[in-house]
Amino acid sequence: MTTTEGVGRRQFLTLLGAGVAGASLPALLSGCAPGGPGAGPASGTKRVLSAAFYQAINDLDPHGASAVDEASLLANRQIYDTLVTGAGERPAPGLATSWRQPDDKTWEFTLREDVVFHDGSKLTSADVKASLERLAASDGPQKPLWASIDTVEAPDPRTVRITTKDPLGTLLVNLTLAFILPAAQIGKGDLSRKPIGSGPFSVESFTPSSQLVLKPVANYWGGAPKLPGLRLPYIPEASTRMTSLQNGEVDVTWIIPPDELKRLGGVNGVKVESKPGLNYFLAWFNCGKKPFSDPRVRRALYQALDIKGIVSSLYGDAATVMDAPIPSAVFGHAPQEPYAYDPELAKRELAEAGYGSGIRTSMMWFKDTGPLATELAQSIISAWAKVGVVVEPQQIEKAAWIKRLTALDWDIELQVNTVTTGDADYTLGRLYTSQANRMGYRNDKLDGILAKARSTSDQEERKSLYGQACEIIWRDAVGVFPAALSSTYGVRSTVAGFVPVANSQPEFRTVSTAG
């Protein structure tokens, strides 16, 4: 594969890996029990599994500021439970055994009777009520999903009644993200560091941005985990993770950049499993400020990019070119006509918009946002320079990126986004409304379409409406949507029962491993 601007992928991966990855893997895994990774237990002996993701787990409060971060959601899936499961699929029972709709604004859920939190308390409807009310009142990133909640009632210990202000056809999908806490713990202690859930694993130790160690819950209502323990070390440097996988210090890892994917091919004791993913790159324009308030400028910049060439060069088979503002694996995806690569047309349209003498602007991203993010940014910046658009690259720390993103203090921003629920509402309905104002874009027609899609329970109607929304966002070039990443996992052959998932949040209850 080729490189861009004379800089090799390995160099960019080194840049991406600066920070915690500088620590040695043994240091990251310090404190391992004798049966831990790399300890060499006798054949057939169960041992602690080590699963390394490329993003850091910083916070374990499932309703907090990091509530939709991929790394936090990965941890939350192990520690907590939700009323409903089945992201991107038909909703299935979780803590709720069944549900019904007495009317279009009311949902009633019947809870399981055998659920116990990690502190020994028994789940009741009061816990669900307190958790949902906390979510609805929060200022976190999930807030738009719960804006329609009117009341949450607990008429008896096993019944929860949710009433919405308007019909909410996405409620079941949203509930796959509503992790339930014991009511008695809310407002007490540090939930970000020492959480109490009802999931298959409880927290043994947690060092933010370093390692989370979990232990199995023997009396878990869905059946005890098969693992004696689960370690989630933070290893952002891709080459380090791949070496650790090959050496057996790590049992499972993902996401895998394309050059590392080649490296794993044919490695003894390692298998690669892949499926279409819910992760994708986007580069939003700040549509609320010049020159990006003019859609002609935004469309011209899309036409200046050889998206197919860039994606093929950087990612090969590890990604696909986007044809909508959401990946094809998402419910509600509707393919759009691609923007033709035409730099001369881009120059003419920039001139017609009053920018014939060029544009000076900037692009920000944080270093761990996704595989080869820096090289992708450089490829885009180089292409835009050829049509007279000079872009200052701004690779910054994630905390600074979040602060500037929410304050709309940027021109162009690059990130990997994840449609965590597998449903278009999670991204389109949460991020692209005028009220959300995430990228300075306002469109009353789009607002109406997204509101209608959220309110109806008719899935075919929802799919059609999201198709209309995809067309508007794509036509208005609110951003550039270059690549949908395949969800690719490297797994040791000693691991059994592991199921790859599209949203990068695998669950480990049914996984086992032997020496």
Instruction: Give φ, ψ of 276 to 5 degrees.
Output: -55, 135
Looking at residue 467, its pLDDT comes to 97
Question: CATH no. for residue 211?
Answer: 3.40.190.10
Angle at 252 between CA 498 and CA 76, to 5 degrees: 75
Cβ burial 237-247 (10 Å sphere, 16+ → b, else e): bbbbbbbbbbe
Residue 405 has pLDDT above 80, yes or no: yes
Q: What is the mean pLDDT of the chain?
A: 88
Predicted local confidence at residue 409, as pLDDT:
97
pLDDT for residue 21 is more than 60: no
Q: Mean pLDDT over residues 72-76, rounded?
A: 95
pLDDT of residue 429: 93
Specify if 191 maps to a domain: no
CATH of the domain at 313: 3.10.105.10
CA dihedral in degrees (347, 325, 366, 57; nearest 10)?
Answer: 180
- Using a 10 angstrom Cβ sphere, with 0-12 exposed, 13-18 middle and 19 or more buried, the burial of residue 163 is middle
**Rounded average pLDDT over 386-403:** 95
Q: What is the pLDDT of residue 191?
A: 83
Checking if the pLDDT of 107 tops 90, the result is yes
The residue ranking higher by pLDDT, 54 or 414, is 414
Would you say residue 385 lies in a domain?
yes
What is d(CA 493, CA 503) in angstroms, rounded to the nearest whole number? 22
Enumerate the H helices of 17-105 as residue ranges. 25-28, 70-79
- pLDDT the model gives residue 108: 98
Quick check: is 219 in a domain?
yes
Instruction: Please tell me the predicted confidence (pLDDT) of residue 515.
Output: 60
Look up the domain containing 92 and give its range. 81-185
In this structure, the answer to whether residues 176 and 227 fall within a common structural domain is no
Residues 422 and 337 in one domain: yes
With respect to residue 320, please indicate whether it lies within any of the assigned structural domains.
yes
**3 domain residue, yes or no:** no
Residues 392, 308 within the same domain? yes
pLDDT at 114: 95
Question: Count of domains in the chain?
Answer: 3
Q: What is the pLDDT of residues 254-274, one digit of tens each?
A: 988 887 888 887 889 999 988
Residues 6+ apart with CB under 8 A from 291: 297, 353, 355, 359, 361
For residue 81, the model assigns a pLDDT of 98
What percent of the chain is modeled with pLDDT above 90? Answer: 72
Same-domain check for residues 433 and 332: yes
Q: What is the pLDDT of residue 260?
A: 85
Query: Do 399 and 295 belong together in one domain?
Result: yes
| Domain contains 2 | no
Same structural domain for residues 21 and 162?
A: no
Amino acid 343: pLDDT: 98
Question: What pLDDT score was predicted for residue 187?
Answer: 82
Tens-digit pLDDT profile for residues 229-262: 999 999 988 889 999 999 999 999 998 888 788 8
Q: Is residue 4 a part of any domain in this protein?
A: no
Same domain, 338 and 456: yes
User: How confident is residue 420, by pLDDT bands cut at 50, 70 and 90?
Assistant: confident
Shared domain for 253 and 320, answered yes or no, is no
Q: What is the pLDDT of residue 9?
A: 37
Model confidence at 65, pLDDT cuts 50, 70, 90, reads confident
377 and 424 in a single domain? The answer is yes
Same domain, 433 and 327: yes
Question: How many alpha carbons lie under 13 Å from residue 330 in its C-beta half-sphere?
Answer: 32
Q: Where does 1-118 have alpha helices with state H? A: 9-16, 25-28, 70-79
- 274 versus 439: the higher-pLDDT residue is 439
Is the pLDDT score of 122 beyond 70? yes
Query: pLDDT grade, residue 389 (50/70/90)?
Result: very high
pLDDT, one tens digit per residue, over 126-166 is 999 999 999 999 887 888 889 889 999 999 999 999 999 98
What crossing angle do the helices spanning 9-16 and 373-385 adopt, rounded to 10°? 120
| CB neighbour class for 155 (10 Å; exposed up to 12, middle 13-18, buried from 19) | exposed
Rounded Cα distance between 471 and 469, Å, is 5
pLDDT attached to residue 93: 95
Predicted confidence (pLDDT) at residue 30 exceeds the cutoff of 90: no
**478 confidence band (pLDDT: 50, 70, 90):** very high
Per residue in 90-102, pLDDT tens? 789 999 999 999 9
pLDDT value at position 452?
A: 94
Identify the CATH number of the domain in which residue 173 sits.
Answer: 3.90.76.10
Last residue of a domain, which of 124, 153, 185? Answer: 185
pLDDT at 40 over 90: no
pLDDT of 298 > 50? The answer is yes
Question: Do 289 and 434 belong to one domain?
Answer: yes
Judgement on whether residues 447 and 497 belong to the same structural domain of the protein:
no
In this structure, is residue 194 part of a structural domain?
A: no
Which of the four pLDDT bands, split at 50, 70 and 90, describes residue 42? very low
Q: Are 231 and 250 in contact (CB under 8 A)?
A: no
pLDDT of residue 45: 57
